[in-house]
Chains A and B, each alone.
Chain A
Amino acid sequence: MQVPFVDLKKRFNFYQQQIVDKLIELGQNNDYILGQSVHEFETKMAEFIGCKYVVGVNSGFDALFLSLMALGISSEDEVITVSNSYIATANAIKAVGATPVFVDVGKDYNISVEKIEKSITPKTKVIMPVHLTGNPCEMDKIVKIARKYNLKIIEDAAQAIGAKYKNKNIGNWGDASCFSMHPIKNLGLLGDGGFICTNSKATQKKLLLLRNHGHKNRDEIIAVGYNSRLDTFQASVALIFLNDLGSWNKRINQIADMYRSSIFGLVIHPILKKHSFAVYQNYIVMVPERDKLIEFLANHGIETKIHYPIPIHKQSAYKYMNRKIYNLPETERQVSQILSLPMYPELTDEQVNHTIETINKFYAK
């Protein structure tokens, strides 16, 4: 039995007709740039997240980049985040000229809240917690720290559409919250796309200008802007998928429960903090003899991946920052043990059980 790590075909084959119909409608209405679907998507997504404003942009990276710009972050500033994220997190901080400051993570792979305060300097302007795999950070504590030091919060929620912490959806905990709809995300489109949630009218207004060249109207430009628009077509696809996102997230949690209750022994499962609802963009376990397990699974048709094998502070792009020697023992310890199992709603019970049995067989040897 084959268990591919990503299987987009199933989803797109299922929705193919709806997508093609939408594309034809769009063409016939001439509605390609910031069209009706973008506005409808922004309204529906704001309802889904329970926030006041959603601004559609061209990617999750741009969501972070534009949010940092909208909050006025620039070259003298420091932004506190983690090193075990996708490279886009730190790149967005660098893109505005600011410096990413990495804090170690806890056993739950998320920013270690107790270690944040030690990293705050007079230059710190923002905390950017990453809800890795869609598992929420301890946002109540982070909000407290941010208030105490008068810092902004930008949630990197690229993988966390639909996640919840203490009865409040992810997307409502920051001054701005950034989501990705890259094809392999849980609400994945047919190309790049992203959006920002905010409850501040002023931030929303800035973001609307930044994503569209600073236009007040066709002829008047009132801000130095950028071009980062969610394509109308991608917004239409997002609207189709949004109807089913709730049930996809449920199915993902069902699979997580199957993994959690049936993979035994030496495997450490992802840690979910109390009052959290995770959406498991990836199901990351920690395992001994990882590389042998990867090979064993591959021989049984099961594809796995590592998110991510090289933490950001070890990337050659960030070596220049060696003037600051990072001491991130937990981040570095996890790197050699983490393993992402296949995780998407289209997985069949048979595929999930095959993965479970194969892992159990490996450790029973």
Chain B
Amino acid sequence: MANYLPNQYKIDNALGINHNYLREQFEDHKEIFAEIEELLSDSQFTLGSYVDECEVLFANRVGAKYAIGVGSGTDAIFLSLKALGVGPGDEVITTPFTYIATIGAIATTGAKPVFVDIKEDFNIDEKLIEAKITTKTKCIVPVHWTGRPCEMNEIHKIAEKFNLKIVQDACHAIDSKYNNNDLVNYGGIACYSMHPLKNLNVWGDGGFVTTNDANFAEKISLMRNHGLIDRDNAEFFAYNSRLDSIQAIVAKYLIRNRLDNITKSRQENALYFDELLNDVPEITLNQRNKNLSEVFHLYQFKAKNRDELKMHLIQKGVDAKIHYPKPMHLQKAAKYLGYSEGDFPVAENLAQISMSLPVHEFITKSQIEYAVDNIKLFYRG
């Protein structure tokens, strides 16, 4: 097949300890279909009341004044940067330990991604940011990896000191809180994804820009829709990146009926893994921190003999994955940035030794116990 189909979309059958749970989730679809049938008869496919309602629900959920539905998480970051005027000649600080979309969004604006190494908790090392700031730096894009918030107080202080903008990559972080505060309060802009594998997941691509700034919200609303202030008048050149009404319907249903449980069960499952893995010396867990309320888009940890352990678990039907084995600065696409191996030792090391297990809402306690038993079996023989 000419196109790349990520492995995670294939259905695994072994024991069901899989990252993918879309099939289970789809069991529950009657209410969604009732509204889709309504949509089919009123034909509001492009923006309109379904998207409006979803935006209000989403904004309330993440504690933002405004949420603007867009085509994807990538677009949310891209449009935010463009709306802030980031472009060629500018630099944007972020982490090499992320999904390529973060970097693609920055590079597509014409700005140069500038990497800062991460800490042992997989998030950007706020202490290393200042050293990377130049006169060209316009923006910091912290990535709340796996839904664990970055140290936003510190990052916010740095941004204020150097007069930089913050665009948070919160694509993994629906429901995450920092010091019990909503993320959007740190710098005013947070971007979310609703890709089918995310915690809040729709049936195709979709995302949100959230903000507390009315002017910025207005600008994003225009930018996602060709710059049109009405049918016939374009205010500035812009893009086409709209949240489809169908996806808005799915998201509305999930926010109203399922998201509480999605977040809660991921947190409970992660803590249960923590408890059971705590006494395995070959495994190093993230230090939990009560100020960082995590939502565990992935349950990620460090493991000795990672690659062998992964093979072992897969043979036992446990869907162990690596997110991701090659950090961004070592990708071929990033070659023009001139980085080389050794530039970001923590990120490079964690790419070698980290592993992710599924903790989504359909994982049961006994499945967690089974996975842990097999990890212990691997090390104890």
Contact = CB atoms under 8 A, between A and B. Distances in A.
B245 A191 contact: yes
Contact of A27 (B2, B29, B242, B334): B29
B311 interface: no
Contact of A315 (B234, B331, B334): B234
B203 A225 contact: no
Interface string B233-260: 1111111111011110000000000000
Given A192-B242, A214-B104, A28 B26 contact: yes
A225 B103 CA distance: 9
Contacts of A38: 3
Nearest to B336: A224
B205 A192 contact: no
Contacts of A223: 332-333
Contact of B326 (A32, A60, A65, A219): A219
Interface in B54-79: 71-75, 78
A310 B233 contact: yes
A91 B227 contact: yes
A131 interface: no
B11 A87 contact: no
B46 interface: yes
B239 A222 contact: no
B4 A33 contact: no
Contacts of A315: 233-234
Is chain B's interface secondary structure helix, strand, loop, or mixed overall?
loop
Interface stretch (A13-21, A135-143, A249-257, A296-304): A13-21
A220 interface: yes
Contacts of B88: 75, 97
Contacts, number: 213
A75 B88 CA distance: 10
Contacts of B377: none
Given A20-B36, A88-B240, A217-B4, A8 B9 contact: no
Contacts of B45: 8, 183, 189-191
Interface stretch (A231-239, A240-248, A286-294): A231-239
A191 B74 contact: no
A69 B160 CA distance: 35
B237 A222 contact: no
Given A87-B226, A226-B74, A27 B326 contact: no
A96 to B, nearest CB: 10
B100 interface: yes
Name, among A23, A38, A310, the residue most crowded by chain B CB atoms within 10 Å (CB to CB).
A23
Nearest to A218: B6
A5 B7 CA distance: 45
B254 to A, nearest CB: 13
Interface string A292-320: 00000000000000101110100111100
B333 A214 contact: yes
Contacts of B22: 27, 30, 32
Contacts of B110: 75, 97
Contacts of B78: 226
Contacts of B39: 190
B49 interface: no
Interface string B215-239: 0000000000011100011111111
B232 A227 contact: no
A226 B139 CA distance: 20
A218 B29 contact: no
Contacts of A183: 43, 45-46
A218 B26 contact: no
A326 interface: no
A9 B204 contact: no
A16 B34 CA distance: 12
A317 B237 contact: yes
A87 B222 CA distance: 13
A221 interface: yes
B378 to A, nearest CB: 23
Contacts of A34: 3-5
B104 A220 contact: no
A35 interface: yes
Contact of B236 (A204, A217, A231, A317): A317
B148 interface: no
Contacts of A318: 234, 237
Interface string A311-350: 0100111100000000000000000000000000000000
A316 B104 contact: no
B33 interface: yes
Name, among B8, B244, B322, the residue most crowded by chain A CB atoms within 10 Å (CB to CB).
B244
A182 interface: yes
A310 B232 contact: yes
A316 B235 contact: yes
23 contacts: A16-B41, A26-B203, A28-B26, A32-B204, A33-B6, A34-B4, A39-B1, A58-B71, A95-B239, A97-B88, A190-B39, A213-B100, A216-B332, A218-B6, A219-B326, A224-B103, A225-B100, A227-B72, A227-B73, A227-B75, A227-B101, A309-B232, A316-B233
Given A12-B41, A224-B108, 11 more contacts: A28-B23, A30-B22, A30-B23, A61-B226, A61-B239, A182-B46, A191-B247, A220-B331, A224-B103, A224-B107, A224-B333
Interface of B: 1-9, 11, 20, 22-23, 26, 29, 33, 36-37, 39-43, 45-46, 71-75, 78, 88, 99-101, 103-104, 107-108, 110, 195-196, 203-205, 226-228, 232-242, 244-247, 322, 324-326, 328, 331-334
